[in-house]
């Protein structure tokens, strides 16, 4: 249920509704827009009817949210959510490109890649320090050493850092170094991990599970929001279908679908979404045309030598060509590419 307060409601009035709801056993979430305050009340619906909040003069209406996702829904937060990360904003008019290698392989590799993607126009550096690998014999990541290299790259370039956390026990460690925590596709329904990142105080990029429906994905985001972290971004990275030419099938229809149902930003990953570097640039353009709020793209200086995902990685040169094209496209779409703050780097 959501309780919509009338325009200009005061702190005391919000407090009064909140107290009444809490006394009846509801968990209360506040969504304060420019004009209106909306309160999400999660609990036993029959008790809400008994409370008769609509009788209060400053309550506009009480509306049930019929979908199973509540806080993630547009009803709870009618305006687009803007996620503030450092001095950047995701979900507004600026489109952000997050770029870097699949895995942090060495200090030199991450520093060089960071420099290259920053020059080409990325605002975030990606790179996995903890890698979820299909085989236990594959490279598992540099762990904390990798996190330190990412943080050093941020110092040197001004790029913000996004990196994956795969284990609930590592959330606080990763949050010490990263600006955004990535929940990988394989962990989308790892509810213990979701509850843990809900408490970390950092924005979360929630990738879609390879076989997750839109509703399951939104429910996973609901776990994070219900745990008190409203800074959530969706990331479509392709789903498993019968098609085997591409690694996954990039479901771009999720961009307008999520924008219709939810207020949270949507990022597209054309690298994992296709598995082939030559499909990345065209699918990145398609993603922006569909209204994506950002992209996350794998870049490697020597894709043939990459420890993981070389086949889908762009070289810095190809990345630069793609970024020049995206700059033109964003202006045609009445948006613009994000920029690294002039103060740093
Ligand atoms: C990654 O970003 O390198 C990754 C492992 O992605 P996904 O979880 O989408 O497979
Ligand atoms: Mn990868």
| pLDDT values of the chain reduced to their tens digit, one per residue, 345 residues | 999 999 989 999 999 999 999 999 999 999 988 888 999 999 888 888 788 999 999 999 999 998 999 999 999 999 999 999 999 999 999 999 999 999 999 999 999 999 999 999 999 999 999 999 999 999 999 999 999 999 999 999 999 999 999 999 999 999 999 999 999 999 999 999 999 999 999 999 999 999 999 999 999 999 999 999 999 999 999 999 999 999 999 999 999 999 999 999 999 999 999 999 999 999 999 999 999 999 999 999 999 999 999 999 999 999 999 999 999 999 999 999 999 986 554
| Closest C-alpha among 288, 287, 292, 297 to residue 320 | 297
The answer to whether residues 29 and 71 touch, using CB atoms and an 8 Å cutoff, is yes
For a mutational test of ligand 1's pocket, the pick from 150, 174, 269, 296, i.e. the residue with the most ligand atoms closer than 8 A to its C-beta, is 269
Residue closest via CA to ligand 1's atom 3 equals 102
CA dihedral (137, 98, 217, 287) in degrees, to 10, reads: -120
Q: Nearest ligand, CA of residue 303?
A: 2
Output the six-digit token pair for 69.
């996702």
Query: Which residue has a Cα nearest atom 1 of ligand 1?
Result: 102
Residues 6+ positions from 261 with CB-CB distance below 8 Å: 67, 69, 72, 73, 74, 214, 218
| Cα–ligand 2 centroid distance for 219 (angstroms) | 24
pLDDT of residue 344: 55
Name the closest-CA residue to atom 4, ligand 1: 184
Ligand 1 pocket check for 272: Cβ under 6 Å: yes
Sheet of 2-5, strands arranged across: 27-32, 37-42, 2-5, 59-63
Dig out the tokens for 295 from the structure: 């992209």
Spell out where the chain has E strands: 2-5, 27-32, 37-42, 59-63, 83-85, 88-90, 94-100, 124-126, 160-164, 180-183, 204-207, 232-236, 266-268, 294-298, 336-337
Residue in 180, 181, 177, 176 with CA at minimum distance from that of residue 166? 181
pLDDT, position 342:
62
Question: Ligand 1: which atom is nearest the Cα of residue 235?
Answer: 9
Give the mutation target among 98, 100, 102, 163 for probing the ligand 1 site: most ligand atoms within 8 A of CB.
Answer: 102
* Closest ligand relative to 140 C-alpha: 1
Instruction: Record the tokens describing residue 169, joined without a space.
Output: 């026990």
Residue 44 has a pLDDT of 85
Which atom of ligand 1 approaches the CA of 237 most closely? Answer: 9
CB-ligand 1 contact for 207 (6 Å cutoff): yes
Confirm or reject: Cβ of 102 under 6 Å from ligand 1.
Answer: yes
For ligand 1, mutation pick of 128, 207, 236, 267 (most atoms within 8 Å of CB):
207
Quote the ligand 2 centre to 78 CA distance (angstroms): 34
Residue 297 Rama label (left phi>0; alpha psi -120 to 50; beta): beta
Q: How far is the CA of 309 from the centre of ligand 2 (A)?
A: 5
Domains of the chain: 2-63 (3.30.70.1140), 83-337 (3.20.20.70)
Atom of ligand 1 lying closest to residue 184 CA: 8
pLDDT at 345 (0 to 100): 47
């Amino acid at each position: 249920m959501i309780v919509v307060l009338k325009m200009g409601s005061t702190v005391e009035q919000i407090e009064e509704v909140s107290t009444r709801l809490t006394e009846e056993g509801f968990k209360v979430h506040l969504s304060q827009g420019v004009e209106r305050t909306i309160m999400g009340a999660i609990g036993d619906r029959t008790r809400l009817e008994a409370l008769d909040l609509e009788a209060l003069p400053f309550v506009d209406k009480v509306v049930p949210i019929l979908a199973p996702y509540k806080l993630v829904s547009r009803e709870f937060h009618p305006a687009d959510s803007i996620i503030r990360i450092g001095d950047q904003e995701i979900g507004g008019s600026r489109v952000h490109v997050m770029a870097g290698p699949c895995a942090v392989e060495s200090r030199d590799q991450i520093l060089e890649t960071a420099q290259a993607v920053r020059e080409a126009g990325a605002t975030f550096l990606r790179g996995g320090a903890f890698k979820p690998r299909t085989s236990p014999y594959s490279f598992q990541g540099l762990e904390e050493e990798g996190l330190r290299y990412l943080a050093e790259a941020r110092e040197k370039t001004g790029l913000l850092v996004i990196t994956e956390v795969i284990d609930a026990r590592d959330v606080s460690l990763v949050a010490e170094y990263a600006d955004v925590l990535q929940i990988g596709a394989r962990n989308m329904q790892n509810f213990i991990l979701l509850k843990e990142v809900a408490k970390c105080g950092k924005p979360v990029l929630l990738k879609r599970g390879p076989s997750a429906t839109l509703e399951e994905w939104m429910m996973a985001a609901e776990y994070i929001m219900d745990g008190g972290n409203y800074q959530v971004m969706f990331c479509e990275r392709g789903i498993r279908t019968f098609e085997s030419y591409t690694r996954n099938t990039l479901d771009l229809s999720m961009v307008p679908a999520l924008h219709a149902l939810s207020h949270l930003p949507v990022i597209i990953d054309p690298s994992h979404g296709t598995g082939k570097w030559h499909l990345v640039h065209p699918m990145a353009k398609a993603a922006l045309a569909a209204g994506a709020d950002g992209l996350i793209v794998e870049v490697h200086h020597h894709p043939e030598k990459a420890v993981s995902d070389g086949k889908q990685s762009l070289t810095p040169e190809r990345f630069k060509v793609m970024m020049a094209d995206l700059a033109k496209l964003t202006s045609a779409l009445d948006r613009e590419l994000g920029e690294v703050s002039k103060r740093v780097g």
